[in-house]
Amino acid sequence: MKYVALFFQYAAQYMKTRLTYRTDMIVEIGSDLMSQAVNFVFILLVFGHTTMISGWSRDEIIFIYGFFLVPFAIFGAFFNIWDFNERYIVKGEMDRILTRPIHSLFQIVLERMELESLFGVLTGTAVMIYAGSRLDLTFAWYDPFMMVLLVLGGTLVYASIFVLIASISFWSDSPTSIMPMMYNIGNYGRYPVNIYNSIIRFVLTWILPFAFVGVYPAAYFLGREEWYTYAFLTPVIGLVFFLLSIFMWNVGVTKYRGAGN
Amino acid sequence: MGKYIEMIRIRFLMMLAYRTNYYSGILIYSINIGAYYFLWNAIYGEKSSIEGMSALQMTSYVAIAWMARAFYFNNIDREIAQEIKEGKVAVELIRPYNYLLMKTMQGLGEGIFRLSFFSVPGMVIVALIFPIAFSAHPATWLMFAVSLVFSFLINMQINLLTGILTFFFYNNTGLIRAKRVVIDLFSGLLLPISFFPGWAQQIMNYLPFQGISYVPSMIFTEGFTKPEIVHAVLLQVVWVLILLLPIQIIWLIARKQLVVQGG
């Protein structure tokens, strides 16, 4: 309960600081929209020259992209730990975090949230509605709940991979360059995994499971039954990886020695 | 002239000191090239060619487009914005050199560094992983080199423009970010301009962006015929000349109404 109350207090505080510089926020949302639009236009342009990509139609690929945007937006809003090493370890800020009465990772999530990223949830939903209506998808009464569940699963997948990498900072000093690399690998999840070769497919499913952010869960709503097993695995993978990453984080924190000053 | 060449040298050495940062850059670019490699192969599927380009040409196009980006890309626009925000630009203005030319030279130093430590080794590594067609004609390589110089200049000029606009917008990080995304699409980095619908290509002909990535990459993959190459490179030259004008005008206006924020 304390955590929930704290979360809303931090969120309110965040909104206040952001609304003071409204133009900055609008420009930021605008440039996010722009990059989403570019990816969208890319798909449209490609399908001007082909009707199918490895058995997926234009609107299916668009739907997958739309789905991908939602967990990615939630991840982006709460897990800004890509600069964890520089910001918290090198500068010794972790000392301060550890004096706080809540879990250290949660404290960092609170401090580093960027709620304007959540705008991507709207864009993603809009893209899914656009593609879904063209595909004449039918939704059962439980599908909205499935959506929430699968989106949460995808978000946890993203979050846990980045938390895992951030945890490496407790032991070693140089994983800064791995973070941007992960963002790029994450983009592989935007497209159906069957376009990749079997090694990459294996990695995207079991090692860096970015496929569970896009194509696998989206396949459920697209009625692609051959992928259902993977679709239903999404929350499981999300949870397993998240627990693993929290475990690694907790072990890492005990190894933290401070930067010295 | 000596001081400008010195500036290229200093920036080159500065980058050299931090070269380890660039090894991961090669990996990141390779990851991106890989993503597009698989995507394009899936798009081609059974088709032997789309818009006159074979699948092999397309892979080569993607690889060279990214590795050329490593050369022409720089953050000079951000640096200018930073210097304007911090008020450092006031000191820069009284120094005995042309500020914009100096920035261009710094960008060039960075470009030469990235070319030798990023683009070339990166291209070798990528060629080991993915099938890439290298031209056997020296003339192709020569024209590619020439057009790459102009693609650097056009990109630089656009960077200068967005950088100077900080004088008017105070905080234009968003504009800089948006510009980068737009250039990735309209320059032909993500896909060749010939894949755009006809009307879009028409519009693009009146914009400088395709001179940045599309032209050198098409020359490299031999997607252009000889007259097309000459035409495209001439167009690049024309754009470099045209872009000088708005830069000079905005620069003059900006200097007149300079507001140093703190400093």
**Nearest CB to B43: which of A31, A50, A197?**
A50
Check A53 against B43: CB less than 8 A apart: yes
Which of A61-70, A177-186, A218-227, B114-123 has the lowest average pLDDT?
Answer: A177-186
Q: What is the pLDDT of residue A61?
A: 96
Check B24 against A24: CB less than 8 A apart: no
DSSP A213: T
Which has more pLDDT, B46 or A126? A126
Check A31 against B28: CB less than 8 A apart: no
Q: Which residue has the tokens 């490179």?
A: B233
What are the start-end ranges of the H helices in B130-225? 138-164, 166-169, 173-186, 198-204, 214-220
Decide if A185 touches B, using CB distance below 8 A.
yes
Check A187 against B47: CB less than 8 A apart: no
Give the residue on A whose Cα is nearest the Cα of B190: A42
Q: Which of residues 54-83 of A touch B (CB under 8 A)?
A: 54
Residue A260 above 70 pLDDT? no
Q: For residue B253, what are its two tokens?
A: 């206006």
Which of A71-80, A174-183, B92-101, B210-219 has the lowest average pLDDT?
Answer: A174-183
Query: What is the Cα–Cα distance from B236 to B230, expressed in whole angstroms?
Result: 10
Instruction: Quote the mean pLDDT of chain A.
Output: 91
Q: Which of A49, A174, A200 to mutate to test the interface with B (most CBs of B within 10 A)?
A: A49
Give the highest mean pLDDT range of A109-113, A172-176, B164-168, B252-256: A109-113
As a whole number, mean pLDDT of residues B91-107 equals 90
Q: How far is B32 from chain A (nearest CA, A)?
A: 7
Is residue B50 helix, strand or coil? strand
Q: Which of B38, B47, B54, B66 to mutate to test the interface with A (most CBs of A within 10 A)?
A: B38
As a whole number, mean pLDDT of residues B192-217 equals 94
Q: What is the pLDDT of residue B153?
A: 96
pLDDT band at B88 (very low <50, low <70, confident <90, very high): confident
The string over B63-74, giving b where at least 16 C-beta atoms fall within 10 Å of a residue's C-beta and e elsewhere, is bbbbbbbbbbbb
Q: For residue B208, what are its two tokens?
A: 């400088």
pLDDT band at B236 (very low <50, low <70, confident <90, very high): very high
Decide if A44 touches B, using CB distance below 8 A.
no
Residues near B52 by beta carbon (within 8 Å), at least 6 away in sequence: B194, B223
Give the residue on A whose Cα is nearest the Cα of B41: A195
Residue B43 above 90 pLDDT? yes
Percentage of chain B modeled with pLDDT above 90: 66
Biggest CA-to-CA distance, chain A: 62
Query: What is the Cα–Cα distance from B70 to B66, expressed in whole angstroms?
Result: 6
pLDDT digits (tens, 9 = 90+) for B140-199: 999 999 999 999 999 999 999 999 988 887 677 888 888 888 899 999 999 999 999 999
Query: What is the Cα–Cα distance from B41 to B62, expressed in whole angstroms?
Result: 12
Tell me if B28 sits within 8 A of B3, measured CB to CB: no
| Boundaries of every domain in chain B | 2-256
CA dihedral angle for residue B147, residue B149, residue B154, residue B155, rounded to 10 degrees: 110
Q: What is the pLDDT of residue A176?
A: 67
Check B38 against A53: CB less than 8 A apart: no
Residue B262 above 70 pLDDT? no
Taking the CA atoms of B19, B24, B25 and B30 in sequence, report the sign of the dihedral they define.
positive
Which of A200-204, B22-26, B63-67, B107-111 has the lowest average pLDDT?
Answer: B22-26
Which residues of A fall within a CB distance of 8 Å from B38? Answer: 191, 195-197, 200
Residue A16 above 80 pLDDT? yes
Residue B263 above 50 pLDDT? no
Q: Which of B39, B59, B85 to mutate to test the interface with A (most CBs of A within 10 A)?
A: B39
Which residues of B fall within a CB distance of 8 Å from A51? Answer: none
Q: Can you name the residues that pair with B53 across neighbouring β-strands?
A: B50
Is residue A52 helix, strand or coil? strand
The closest alpha carbon to B235, from B189, B199, B192, B204, belongs to: B204
Residue B131 above 60 pLDDT? yes
Q: How far is B196 from chain A (nearest CA, A)?
A: 6
**Nearest CB to B191: which of A27, A45, A200?**
A45
Which residues of A fall within a CB distance of 8 Å from B41? Answer: 195
The closest alpha carbon to B134, from B193, B207, B222, B199, belongs to: B222
Decide if A51 touches B, using CB distance below 8 A.
no
Helix axis angle, A104-111 relative to A2-20, nearest 10°? Answer: 20
- What amino acid occupies position A93? E
The closest alpha carbon to B72, from B39, B107, B38, belongs to: B107
Decide if A197 touches B, using CB distance below 8 A.
yes
Which has more pLDDT, A21 or B180? B180
CB atoms within 10 A of CB B146: 16
Check B181 against A35: CB less than 8 A apart: yes
Q: What is the pLDDT of residue B260?
A: 59
Check A196 against B38: CB less than 8 A apart: yes
Which of A156-170, A245-259, B169-183 has the lowest average pLDDT?
Answer: B169-183
State how far Cα B45 lies from the chain centre. 31
Give Rg (Cα) of chain B. Answer: 19
As a whole number, mean pLDDT of residues A231-247 equals 97
Q: Which residue has the tokens 């470099």?
A: B240
Residue B259 above 90 pLDDT? no
Which has more pLDDT, A43 or A261? A43
Residue A64 above 90 pLDDT? yes
Tell me if B194 sits within 8 A of B201, measured CB to CB: yes
Give the residue on B whose Cα is nearest the Cα of A32: B178
Residues near A185 by beta carbon (within 8 Å), at least 6 away in sequence: A208, A210, B31
**Nearest CB to B190: which of A42, A177, A185?**
A42
Which residues of B fall within a CB distance of 8 Å from A52? Answer: 45
Tell me if B204 sits within 8 A of B188, measured CB to CB: no
Which pTM was predicted?
A: 0.91
Instruction: Quote the mean pLDDT of chain B.
Output: 90
**Nearest CB to A188: which of B35, B175, B184?**
B35
